Amino acid sequence: MGGRESCDMRGMLSFQILWLLSKGKMHGEMIAEEIEKRRGEKPKPGTLYPALKELSNKGLINGSRRGKIIVYSITSDGRAAVKVATNYFCRSFGDIFEENERK
């Protein structure tokens, strides 16, 4: 099911979170669900929230509590970072996708 049995392929979590937040504000649970749509599995709370905290500590996102939930938005530093990171990502792995597109 996953795709990581043979090849661990860990990583990219913070990048993916930042990329998702560059598309719009979300709270933690929504982020988890968006990741689930893509990866097939929800990141566990103990994985997601520390990552959100790190991004927050770096000033790339910030959260504001609205009752039960905390809505995260990307900062301008975060926008700059996600742009650079996306370029790097596409340059590094673009051909893997191109091949997939052409089939």
Partner DNA sequence: TTAAATGTATAGGTTATCCTATATATTCAG
Partner DNA sequence: CTGAATATATAGGATAACCTATACATTTAA
The interface partner of residue 75, options being a second copy, DNA, none and the CB cut-off 5 to 8 Å by kind, is: none
Residue 27 or 79 having the CB closest to DNA = 27
Bridge partner list, 62: 73
33 binds a second copy (CB under 8 A): no
Residue 4 or 53 having the CB closest to a second copy = 4
| Residues 44-83 interacting with a second copy (rule: CB under 8 A) | 58, 60, 77, 80-82
CA distance 19 to 17: 5
**Residue type present at position 48:** L
| Residues 41-70 interacting with DNA (rule: CB under 7 A) | 41, 43-47, 49-54, 63, 65, 67-70
- Listed in order, strand segments (DSSP E) in the chain are 26-27, 61-66, 69-74
| Residues 7-36 interacting with DNA (rule: CB under 7 A) | 7-15, 27-29
Q: Could you give the angle at the alpha carbon of 27 between the alpha carbons of 5 and 45, nearest 5°?
A: 40
Identify the burial level of 51 via C-beta atoms within 10 angstroms of its C-beta, where 0-12 means exposed, 13-18 middle and 19 or more buried.
middle
Binding site for DNA (CB under 7 A): 7-15, 27-29, 41, 43-47, 49-54, 63, 65, 67-70
